Amino acid sequence: MHLRAWRLIFAFVLSGATVYKLETRAVSVWYGSYQALKGVSLALERNQVLALIGPSGCGKSTFLRLFNRMNDFIEGFRLEGEVLIDGENIYAPQVDPVHLRRRVGMVFQKPTPFPFSIYENVAYGLRLQNRLPESQIRERVEHALRQAALWEEVRDNLKKSALMLSGGQQQRLCIARALAVRPSLLLMDEPTSALDPISTAKIEELIHELRQHYTIVIVTHNMQQAARVSDMTAFFYMGQLVEYGRTKDFFTNPQHPETIRYITGRFG
C-alpha cells in the first residue's frame, strides 16, 4: 500500500502533470500467431467513463480484459507494450494478478450470479480477503446493494437464492458484487446486451451515478448507449485503435472514414 502510494507520487512528480487512471502504451496482443491488438496507446483520466466500440472481433473485449489480466488464462497469450493503472505497470513481474483483480471490478455480458443466496453473492469477494467480522460484511453488502440500486428490491429476501432474481436484477447484483470489494476501476463487458430495455435504462442510470466514485470502462455494441453513458469513446477496428476522443465530438464530428462508416451503420 505504501509502496503504491509512493510510486504514485513519484510518477506524478516525474510527469509533472496528471497521472492517468488508465494508460496503455503501444500495446500489442497476440493469441498464438493471431494478433488481436496492434499498438494501442490511450489514456483516461480519473472518474471518467470510457466506451469501447467496434465490430465483433475488433479487439475491444481483449483490450478491456487487459486491465484485470483476464487474458492471462488464454493459451498463447502474449503482450507487448505497457498497461498502467494509476501509473503502475500491471504486467510488471512483481504484480500479483489476484491482488490486481481486487482493485478492478468486472461485470460480464451475461449476468453470472453464483448459485448461492443474494447475500452470499455480494459477500463472496469480501470473504476471499482478510477475515472481516460478520457485522462489517453485512454493512458492506448493504452499501454495495444500495450503490447498485438493488437494496430496496431485495432487502427482505437477502437469504433467497440469487437465481430467483430477474435478469436485470441479476446484473445489478453482479455490479453490487463487484463494488463490494471496493475497486477503483470498473470494467463492463457489454453489460446490457442480454437485458430488456427497462433493465438497460436502469443500468445506464447506475453508470451515471457510479461515475462520481469510479472510473468505468464499458464495451458496448450499442452506439446510442456509448453516446449516452460515456465521456470518452474509443473505436477499434481490426485490432487497431482507429479513433479516440470526447464522446460528444466523436459522434458529431468523427474524423476517420472507418469511424464514419461504422457509426452511420454501414458495417458492423
Partner 1 sequence: MRYKAVTFVPKRWVEGLSTALITLISWVALGALGGVIAFLLYKGAGVLSWAFFTDLPRRGMQSGGIGPALVGSIYVTLVAIGVGSLVGTAAGAYMSEFATRRRIVRFLEFLINTLAGIPSVVYGLFGLALFVVALGLGASILAGGLTLALLSLPLLIRNAQEAFGAVPKALKEASIGLGASELQTFFRITLPIALPRLLTGLALATGRVLGETAPILFTAAVYYLPTYPKGLLEPTMLLPYHLYVLVTSGVDVRQTYPMAFGTALTLLGLTLAFTGLAAYLRFRLKRRYRV
Closest CA to 112 of 208, 210, 190, 221: 190
Q: How far, in Å, CA of 121 to CA of 159, rounded?
A: 10
x-marked contacts with partner 1 along 170-199 as a string, rule CB under 8 A: ----x--xx--x------------------
Q: Is 110 in the site for partner 1 (CB under 8 A)?
A: yes
Least Cβ distance, residue 130 to partner 1 (angstroms): 12
CA distances to 157, 169, 215 from 162, in Å: 9, 9, 27
Considering the complex, state which of residue 145 and residue 241 has its C-beta at the smaller distance from partner 1. Answer: 145
Q: Measured at the alpha carbon of residue 26, what is the angle toward residues 216 and 5, in degrees to the nearest 5?
A: 55
Least Cβ distance, residue 191 to partner 1 (angstroms): 13
Name which position in 25, 78, 102, 138 contacts partner 1 (CB under 8 A).
102
Least Cβ distance, residue 175 to partner 1 (angstroms): 12
Q: Is 106 in the site for partner 1 (CB under 8 A)?
A: yes
Neighbouring-strand partners of residue 189: 219
Query: 3-state class of 2 per DSSP?
Result: helix
Least Cβ distance, residue 211 to partner 1 (angstroms): 20
Least Cβ distance, residue 115 to partner 1 (angstroms): 4
Estimate to the nearest angstrom the gap between the alpha carbon of 233 and the chain centroid.
14
Considering the complex, state which of residue 126 and residue 207 has its C-beta at the smaller distance from partner 1. Answer: 126
Closest CA to 241 of 72, 50, 24, 39: 39
Q: Is 31 in the site for partner 1 (CB under 8 A)?
A: no
User: Is-contact 56 257, C-beta < 8 A?
Assistant: no
Considering the complex, state which of residue 111 and residue 254 has its C-beta at the smaller distance from partner 1. Answer: 111
Name which position in 80, 128, 160, 256 contacts partner 1 (CB under 8 A).
128
Considering the complex, state which of residue 112 and residue 193 has its C-beta at the smaller distance from partner 1. Answer: 112
Strand spans (E) along 136-223: 185-189, 215-219
- Helix 167-180 to helix 134-147 angle (10° resolution) is 130
By the criterion CB under 8 A, which residues form the site for partner 1? 68, 70, 73, 75, 98-99, 101-102, 105-106, 108, 110, 112, 114-115, 124-125, 128-129, 161, 163, 174, 177-178, 181
